[in-house]
Structure 1
Amino acid sequence: MRPGLRRLFLRAVSTDNEAQFADGVWETRCLHCRTRLQVAADGEPRGSASLEHVIPRAWFSKRSARPLIERVGGDPDDARNLAVACTRCNHDKGKGPDARGPLDARAREVVEALLATRLARWREPSGPDGGR
C-alpha cells in the first residue's frame, strides 16, 4: 500500500475518539455499521477496514456541496472528512449516495448524517502532522 494512503488511515484513526491503540494496532468501529475494524500502527488496514471519505472526493468540485465541504475545511483529505469503514459499507455508499451526487436529497441526507457521526467521534489530533 502507498505510504500516502497509510498516512490517511492513521489520520482517520488517530482523530477518532472511539479508536483505541494497543499492542501496535488501532481498533475502531465502522462509521456505518459499527463492525470492529483494525489498522496497524504503520497505517496498514487489517481485514475489511477501508478508508472512507465521508464527503465523497468527487463532491468537492460541486457548488451544491459547498456547505458540507466548508465543515471539513475544503480539503477532501482533511482528518474531519476521513473515517474507517468496512469494505462492504464503503462500497455500498460509493454505489449509492456518492454516485447520485449532492443534488440528490437522499444522498445529501446520508452524507450529512455520516458527517455528523464523524464529527461526534472527533478528537483533536496529537501527531506531528496535526491531523492534516
Structure 2
Amino acid sequence: MRPALRRLMLLAAHTDAQAALADGLWTTRCLHCRRTLRLRADGEPIGATSLEHVIPRAWFGRRAAAALTARVGDVPDDARNLALACARCNQDKGKGPDARGPSDARAFAVVATLLEARLARWRPPPACDRGDAALSGRDG
C-alpha cells in the first residue's frame, strides 16, 4: 500500500473519537454499518478496512455540493472528510450516492447524514501531530 494512503488512513484513525490504539492496532467501527475495523499502527489496513471520503472527491468544486464541502474546508483529504469504513459499505456508497452526484436529493441527503456522523466522531489530532502535513489534511 502506498505510504500516502497509509498516512490518510492513520489520519482518519487519529481523528476518530471511537478509534482506540492498543497493542499496535487501531480498532474502530465502520462509519456506515458499525462493523469492527482494524488498522495496524503503521496505517496498514487489516481485513475489510478501507478509507472513506465521506464527501466524494468528485463532488468537490461542484456548486450543488458547496454547502457540504465548505464544512470540511473544501479539501477532499481534510481529516474531517476521512473515515474508516468496511470495503463493502464503501463500495456500495461508490455505486449509489457517490455516482448519482450532489444534484440528486437522495444522494445529497445520504452524504450529509454520513458527514454528520463523521463530525460527531471528530477529535482533533494529538498536539504533536498538528504540525504534520499528513495529519492536517493538507499536503506539505
Normalised by the size of structure 2, how large is the TM-score?
0.92
- Cα deviation digits, residues 9-47 of structure 1 (max 9, x gap): 000000000000000010000000000000111100100
| Residue 51 (str. 1) matches residue 51 (str. 2) | yes
- Cα deviation digits, residues 89-130 of structure 1 (max 9, x gap): 000000000000000000000000000000000001112425
| Residue 108 (str. 1) matches residue 113 (str. 2) | no
Look up the SS of the partner of 2:64 in the other structure: helix
Look up the SS of the partner of 2:117 in the other structure: helix
Aligned counterparts, 1:1-132, within 5 A: 1-126=1-126, 127=129, 128-129=131-132, 130-132=135-137
Q: CA deviation at 1:131?
A: 3.1
Q: CA RMSD in A?
A: 0.8
Look up the SS of the partner of 1:71 in the other structure: helix
Gaps of 5+ in 2: none
Code of the aligned partner of 2:49: A
Cα distance in 2 for partners of 1:12, 1:131 equals 10
Q: CA deviation at 1:63?
A: 1.2
Cα distance in 1 for partners of 2:63, 2:7 equals 28
Gaps of 5+ in 1: none
Look up the SS of the partner of 2:124 in the other structure: coil
Percentage of pairs with the same residue: 66
Cα distance in 1 for partners of 2:39, 2:13 equals 8
Q: CA deviation at 1:73?
A: 0.5
Over 3 Å off, 4+ runs:
none
